[in-house]
Amino acid sequence: MELELNFANFLATHLCPPYSKVVSLLNQTVAQWPKGAAMLTGYRGIYTIKLWDEEKAKQLLGQKVEFFYGGESSSRSVKVPITKKPFRKRYKNPKYVTIIGFDRISEEISNNEVDKVLQQFGTIIVPTQEVFAENFRTGKKKLRIDLDQGKDIPRDFHLQYETELGRTLSASLRLFYKDQPYFCRRCSEQHVGDCPQFIADKAEKENIKKMKEDNNKTVMVGDSNFRCINENGVMASVTAVTGGKIGHICNQVNFENITKTENIILSAGQNCTNDADELDQKFWEARTVAEIAATETMVNKLLGKGKNVFMLSVPPAPCTQTSDRKIKAREFINKQIGELITRANKTNKQPGKTGIAGLVEEPDNSYDQTRDFIDERHLTQQAMERRISQIDEILPSESKLRNPILKARATCHPYRACYGAYPAGCNFCTKLNHGEQNCPTKIKHSGKRTTVSGSEEQVPKRGKTT
C-alpha cells in the first residue's frame, strides 16, 4: 500500500523539508512507525511511503507530521497528514499528436468527430483541440492519446465519417508524433525519425555550400522548369518560381543577393501563354511587351555592372501547343527575348567593363514530346540536363555549371535541392504593390472594377456630360 506525505500542499517548494529531515520527522513524531518495514521515496516536498503490510499502513493513515519551518528559532509550523496516495493511471504508450490539414477542409468536421475516429488506435487522454498562435487559428489541431491497441497512426491519414443528416465528409490529413514509423518517400523504406539518406544529403549540402561560398559565380532564377535542378550538382544557386511569368522572374532577381555574382541565368515566358486564349490578342501582346521592357531595363543595369546575363527560350511544352493562339504566343515571346538580347549587346559595348548577354535556344524538332516532358508543363530531368549542357557551352570557362568537384547529378526530384518560391507581384500584370483583384491593368481591360465586398460593377465610360 502506498501513502503520501505532501508538504507542497502547505508550503512553497523552497521551504519544504529535505529527505533527511523527513526521515527524522517520521521516526520521531509518528506513533507506531514501522521501522525497517517501509520505503520512503520522493523530493521537493512530495514523499511516498510504501508499506507491504496493509494493517500497519492503515494505522498510519491520518497521523500528522509537524514541521517547523523558517529556521531553528522559528515558531511557524505546519501539520501535514499522511494520506493514501492518489491513484494515477499508467499509460502504455502515450503520445502527443499534431494534426495538420484543417485549413483545407470543412469546418463541419468537429474535434469530437476527430476523437471518435482516432479511438480505434487507443484511449484519448486529452481530447482534440485547436492550436493557436496568439489570437489566430493555425489550421492545426493537437491531442494526447495512449496507443494501447498495438497500432500506430498512419502519417498520411484519410478521415471519413457520416454526419447526422447522412452527409459523408472526408479529409486528407497529416499526423505526427514522436517515434512514429512512416513510409519515407526519399528512400522508399519504413523507418522512425529522420531519414538516414536525408541526414547524409543535408551534411553533403552543408559541405558543398561552404565550398561554393568562394567559388560560386552564378545565380539561376526561373519558372518551375528549374525545379528539378540540384544545387549540389551545379556551381550555382537556383531559385524556381512556381507559376512565374517574365515579370515575376525579373522581380525575383531584384530581391536576390547578386553582389558577388558574375553570371545570371533566367528562364521565363511559358506561364505568360496561360491566358493567351482568353485575352484580346493586342492586349496580351502589349502586356507581354511591358514585361519584356522591364526585364530589358534590368538586364542593361546588370550588364552595366559587368555581369553576364543568359536567357533561355521557351520550350514547346504541350501546354503551349493546345491552340493556334498559344503557339503564336510562344513564338512571339521567343522572338521578343531574342531581340532583347540583341539590343542589350548593342547598347553595352565596352569590353572588359560591361557584361555580355546570351540566348540559349533549341530547335523545336530537337524535342521529343514523350521523352522531354514529364507532364504538360515541365521538362524531364533528361531534358533539363541537356539545357544545362547548352548553358555551359556559352558560360565563361571559369564559371561552368558542371564541376568535377561536385559528385551529385545536376538534376534530382522536383524542389528537393533548390529554393522554391511563389511569384512576387501581381499574378496578372506582374507589377509589385498590388494584387490581381485590384490590378489596374486588369480592370482597364475588363471594364469592371472589384468592390470592397468582392462583387463586380461596371466602370462608367468616359464621355461628355450634358
Name the pTM for this structure.
Answer: 0.69
Beta bridge partners of 265: 220, 310
Does residue 215 fall inside a structural domain? no
Please report, for the domain that includes residue 154, its CATH number.
3.30.70
Whether 318 and 368 map to the same domain: the answer is: yes
Asked, for residue 28, whether it belongs to a domain, the answer is yes
Q: Is the predicted pLDDT of residue 448 greater than 80, yes or no?
A: no
> 184 with 242, same domain?
no
* Mean pLDDT value of segment 245-260: 94
pLDDT: which is higher, 376 or 35: 376
Average pLDDT estimate for 240-264: 94
The answer, yes or no, to whether residue 383 has pLDDT greater than 90, is yes
Greater pLDDT, 18 or 211: 18
Q: Do the beta carbons of residue 431 and residue 444 sit within 8 Å?
A: no
Domain for residue 199, yes or no? no
Instruction: Kindly state the cell numbers that stand for 172.
Output: 486528407
Q: Does some domain include residue 439?
A: no
State whether 71 and 100 are in the same domain: no
DSSP 14: G
CATH of the domain at 239: 3.40.50.1110
Find out whether 50 and 34 touch, Cβ atoms under 8 Å.
Answer: no
Is the pLDDT confidence value at 465 over 60? Answer: no
Considering the domain boundaries, does residue 456 fall inside one? no
Q: Mean pLDDT over all residues of the chain?
A: 88
247 and 385 assigned to the same domain: yes
* 141, 289: one domain: no
Q: Please check whether residues 406 and 284 belong to one and the same domain.
A: yes
Mean pLDDT of 226-254: 95
Final residue of a structural domain among 63, 84, 105:
84
125's CB contacts (< 8 A; 6+ apart) are 91, 94, 143, 144, 145, 146
Q: Is residue 173 part of a domain?
A: yes
Same domain, 79 and 98: no
Q: Average pLDDT, stretch 38-53?
A: 91
Residue 306 belongs to a domain? yes
- Shared domain check, 78 and 105: no
Residue 301 and residue 374 share a domain: yes
Is the pLDDT at 225 greater than 50? The verdict is: yes
The verdict on 236 and 377 lying in the same domain is yes
Lowest pLDDT segment from 84-88, 313-317, 380-384, 435-439: 84-88
Nearest-angstrom CA–CA distance, 178 and 155: 11
- Is 333 a member of any domain? yes
Q: Is the pLDDT of residue 160 over 90?
A: no
DSSP 74-138: ---EEEEEEEEPPP-PPPSSEEEEEEE-GGGS-TTS-HHHHHHHHTTTSEEEEEEEEEEETTEEE
Q: Indicate whether 368 and 268 sit together in one domain.
A: yes
Per-residue pLDDT, averaged over 91-120, amounts to: 87
At 189 the pLDDT is: 84
Number of domains the chain is built from: 3
Interval 317-341: pLDDT, tens: 999 999 999 999 999 999 999 999 9
Looking at residue 452, its pLDDT comes to 38
pLDDT band at 447 (very low <50, low <70, confident <90, very high): low
Q: What percent of the chain has pLDDT over 70?
A: 95
Mean of the pLDDT values across residues 27-41?
83
Residue 104, by phi and psi: left (phi above 0), alpha (psi -120 to 50) or beta? Answer: alpha
Per-residue pLDDT tens over the stretch 121-155: 999 999 999 999 888 988 899 999 999 999 999 99
Looking at per-residue confidence, does 160 or 292 come out higher?
A: 292
Shared domain for 253 and 357, answered yes or no, is yes
pLDDT of residue 27: 85
- Identify the domain containing residue 407 by its residue range: 220-433
* Domain end among 60, 84, 108: 84
Beta strand 308-312 with 357-360 is parallel
pLDDT at 454 over 50: no
CB 131 within 8 A of CB 142: yes
Tell me the pLDDT band of 413, cut-offs 50, 70 and 90: very high
Q: How far apart are CA 220 and CA 235, in angstroms?
A: 10
Predicted confidence band at 188 (pLDDT cuts at 50, 70, 90)? confident
